Amino acid sequence: MDWQHVDWQLLERLRDRFLKNTGGDGPYWADEVTLANYDFTFGRRIAWKWAAVLQPMLERGWEPPARRLIDWGCGTGVATRSFLAHFGTGSIEDIILWDHSPAATRFARAAIEAEHPGPSVRVADPSTAEDGPPFVLLVSHVINELDTTGLEALLALARKAEAIIWIEPGTREDSRRLLGVREQLRGVFHCHAPCPHDGPCGMLAAENARHWCHHFARPPTEAFTSRGWSLFAQRLNIDLRALPYSHLVLDRRPPPRIPDAVRIIGAPREYSGLMKILRCREDGVSEVELQKRDSKPLWKKLQKKRDPGLLAWRETEAGRIAPGSFQV
């Protein structure tokens, strides 16, 4: 696939479909051409989100707790391919792909085998299969296509996983649905990301009803320099600079916790000498202020990186980040 062969009308139709909630509608991948067009465009944008989640996991020393991967609602296999690109094929023995579209599983299998030879790849509905070896569950951009029965089946499978990496679009609706997943799985797993704690989600508090948990991935330079991506942005009316996503990384193993850990939600809002930051902490989600003069290192870090991952600081009772309390 290359930019010259992209079918823009087909992509427009796909985009319109993705923007609707199509729970329970059944398979929609018409053929391999549709899948190839998706994979080359929307799929790559999704891979950038996977990179934003997997790279920090890699840097923190997270390792797969099982040798089997299950990619549920695999589409063209973006989640598995991203996972293997980050963690390698060495620790994975076999991969199970599931999608109710046979065209999708065929495409995904061929792409995974071509890009990451080694693990055995097969297609099966793991929700109905007998219990097998331990596995890591990958889920990507599926939640708004599931009706209640579909989501229940997926959750039942999730409860058997050793770890779950689940990425969805950063819309309010999808993020809120993922929050529901977190609440259902809480107690079974430890939350490695994005939450710095395992307690109830602070977004559930009435005062946070207008917020939602999302973060921004950074697209690679080619997204801003290539003619193809610029055409994509124009034709599909998509802002390439903003790549919001919501995610959940759950694991039966506890993560290392740091004192005063916080995670910024969305992006800080910057004013003259002041930032307003929505942050998640063990005791809840609330907005705090950062005065530039109180912590220049933190100010600089936030200007440089929209999503700096897990941070730690203390706060005053008035909701200000305490001078000098930020730990690098």
Ligand X SMILES: C[S@@+](CC[C@H](N)C(=O)[O-])C[C@H]1O[C@@H](n2cnc3c(N)ncnc32)[C@H](O)[C@@H]1O
- The CA dihedral of 109, 91, 248, 313, to the nearest 10 degrees, is -150
CA 27, distance to chain mean position in Å, is 23
Closest to ligand X by CB, 81 vs 279, is: 81
Contact region with ligand X (CB under 6 A), list: 4-12, 53-61, 98-106, 215-223: 98-106
Cβ neighbours for 47, distance < 8 A, ≥ 6 positions apart? 78, 81, 82
Give the footprint of ligand X on residues 54-83 (CB under 6 A): 73-76, 78-79
CA 287 – CA 268 distance, rounded (Å): 10
Closer of 44 and 235 to ligand X (Cβ): 44
Per CB under 6 A, the list member of 84, 96, 112, 146 interacting with ligand X is 146
Size of the site for ligand X (CB under 6 A): 21
Residue pair 178/203 in contact by the 8 Å Cβ criterion? no
Strand partners, 251: 163, 190
- When asked if residue 251 is in the footprint of ligand X (CB under 6 A), the reply is no
Which segment (129-137, 141-149, 191-199, 236-244) binds ligand X by CB under 6 A?
A: 141-149
Nearer to ligand X by Cβ, of 171 and 286: the residue is 171
Give the residue at shortest CB distance from ligand X.
75
With contact defined as beta carbons under 8 Å apart, do 137 and 158 qualify? yes
Q: Among 46, 57, 95, 217, which residue sits at the site for ligand X (rule: CB under 6 A)?
A: 46
Considering only residues 36, 107, 145, 251, which one is a binding residue for ligand X as defined by CB under 6 A?
145
**Which range of residues in 143-151, 179-187, 266-274, 294-302 is near ligand X by CB under 6 A?**
143-151
Select from 15, 44, 67, 100 the one that contacts ligand X (CB under 6 A): 100
- Residue 202 interacts with ligand X (CB under 6 A): yes or no: no
Best CA proximity match to 135, nearest among 96, 110, 161:
161
Cis peptide before 194 (omega within 30 of 0): yes
Q: Measured from the CB atom, is 159 or 269 closer to ligand X?
A: 159
Nearer to ligand X, 125 or 183 (CB): 125
Positions in 17-36 near ligand X (CB under 6 A): 18, 27
Q: Choose between 245 and 313: whose C-beta lies nearer to ligand X.
A: 245
The answer to whether 220 and 48 have CB atoms below 8 angstroms apart is yes
Distance CA 124, CA 98 (A): 6
Instruction: Measure the CA–CA gap between 17 and 100, rounded to whole angstroms.
Output: 17
The C-alpha atoms of residue 218 and residue 200 are separated, in whole angstroms, by: 29
Cα separation, 142 vs 18, whole angstroms: 10
Binding site for ligand X (CB under 6 A): 18, 27, 43, 46, 73-76, 78-79, 98-101, 104, 140-142, 145-146, 150
